[in-house]
């Protein structure tokens, strides 16, 4: 199966330095929070799958912790970087693949399945359902699944306001504030309740929804350049303490849906 969005996704990531993104203080909120929750569910001997592994930030860190990791990504450039960075890590396997078709992987293989990028780039219900179903299929019974997704608010504030694109964004907005799924716009976003509804009747149990970065990316100029390391650490600890609260999830740029396969 050839992902019909592959050329759009590759164009985006061929022009974008994913590694540099996580070097910014404001962007590290997402990585540190996601890793914090992954570690809550890790057990000795866990087999981990990361779908949409990018350049390997999570997969390599987890492999260095001693876990058996399989990393899957669609984009050639990302895989080349991941493979270069993971040389010598015999417990990390990298594969080129599509979140909607993981047929190279058998059912019920992994204790933890991380889907940390594909849901950003799927643009109709059928494809979103396929990606979710494939993640669930390869997860073991009682295994943990984590899905990253973008909020509509993150697009309006982070792109529309910060980049001065409100007028162009207006053409993509529904009357209820939802942003239309338009492949050429590269990113797909959700309301929290819409994302959760996708898991109805999928044989999974909802565990948590997390605001992985809150409004930090929208305040990146201040966080990256104007606060001290002590202030940053205090802000990060406050974020960890509040990221499960509904009032923090509402405006978070990135969110993390955690469920368990029954």
Q: What is the pLDDT of residues 17-43, one digit of tens each?
A: 666 666 789 999 999 999 999 999 999
Q: Which residues contact 207 (CB under 8 A, 6 or more apart)?
A: 144, 258, 259, 260
Res 2 pLDDT > 60: no
In a domain, 200, yes or no: yes
Q: What spatial distance separates the first Cα and last Cα of the chain, rounded to whole Å?
A: 28
In a domain, 223, yes or no: yes
Q: What angle (nearest 5°) sits at the alpha carbon of residue 36, between those of residues 234 and 261? A: 145
Residue 27 lies in a domain: yes
Instruction: Identify the pLDDT of residue 18.
Output: 65
pTM above threshold 0.85: yes
Phi, psi of 144 (to 5 degrees): -105, 135
Task: Evaluate whether 112 touches 42 at the Cβ level (below 8 Å).
Answer: yes
Report if residue 146 sits inside a domain. Answer: yes
Does residue 210 belong to any structural domain of this protein?
Answer: yes
Tell me how far apart the alpha carbons of residues 31 and 22 are, in angstroms, rounded to a whole number. Answer: 7
Cα–Cα distance list, 96 to 37, 76, 109, 155 (Å): 26, 8, 18, 29
Helix (H, G, I), strand (E, B) or coil at 260: strand
Rounded distance between C-alpha atoms, residue 174 and residue 119, angstroms = 20
Radius of gyration of the chain (CA): 18
Per-residue b or e along 184-196, where b marks 16 or more CB atoms closer than 10 Å to that residue's CB: ebebbbbbbeebe
Concatenated DSSP letters of 35-56: HHHHHHH--TT-EEEEES-TTS
Q: What is the pLDDT of residues 55-77, one digit of tens each?
A: 999 999 999 999 999 999 999 99
Domain span including residue 107: 6-261
Would 215 be classed as within a structural domain? Answer: yes
Number of independent structural domains in the chain: 1
Is residue 231 one of the residues assigned to a domain?
yes
Residue 63 maps to which CATH number? 3.40.50.150
Residue 1 within any structural domain of the chain: no
Tens-place pLDDT, residues 117-176:
999 999 999 999 999 999 999 999 999 999 999 999 999 998 899 889 899 898 899 999
pLDDT digits (tens, 9 = 90+) for 220-260: 999 999 999 999 999 999 999 999 999 999 889 999 999 99
- pLDDT score recorded for residue 46: 97
d(CA 51, CA 34) in angstroms, rounded, equals 15
For residue 251, the SS3 value is coil
């Amino acid at each position: 199966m050839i992902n019909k969005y592959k050329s759009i996704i590759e164009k985006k990531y061929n022009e974008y330095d994913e590694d540099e993104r996580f070097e910014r203080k404001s962007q590290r909120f997402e990585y540190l929070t996601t890793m914090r929750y992954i570690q809550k569910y890790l057990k000795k001997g866990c087999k981990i799958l990361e779908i949409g592994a990018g350049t390997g930030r999570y997969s390599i860190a987890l492999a260095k912790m001693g876990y058996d990791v399989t990393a899957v990504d669609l984009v050639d450039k990302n895989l080349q970087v991941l493979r270069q960075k993971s040389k010598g890590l015999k417990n990390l396997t990298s594969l080129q693949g599509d979140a909607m078709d993981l047929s190279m992987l058998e059912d019920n293989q992994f204790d933890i399945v991380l889907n940390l990028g594909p849901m950003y780039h799927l643009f109709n219900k059928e494809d979103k359902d396929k990606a979710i179903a494939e993640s669930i299929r390869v997860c073991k019974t009682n295994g943990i699944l984590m899905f990253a997704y973008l909020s509509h608010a993150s697009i309006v504030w982070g792109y529309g306001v910060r980049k001065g694109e409100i007028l162009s964004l207006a053409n993509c907005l529904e009357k209820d504030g939802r942003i239309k799924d338009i492949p050429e716009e590269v990113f797909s976003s959700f309301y929290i309740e819409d994302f959760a509804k996708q898991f109805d009747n999928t044989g999974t149990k909802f565990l948590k929804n997390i605001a992985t970065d809150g409004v930090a990316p929208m305040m990146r100029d201040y966080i990256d350049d104007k606060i001290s390391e002590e202030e940053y650490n205090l802000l990060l600890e406050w974020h960890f303490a509040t990221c499960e609260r509904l009032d923090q999830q509402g405006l978070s740029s990135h969110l993390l849906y955690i469920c368990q396969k029954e």
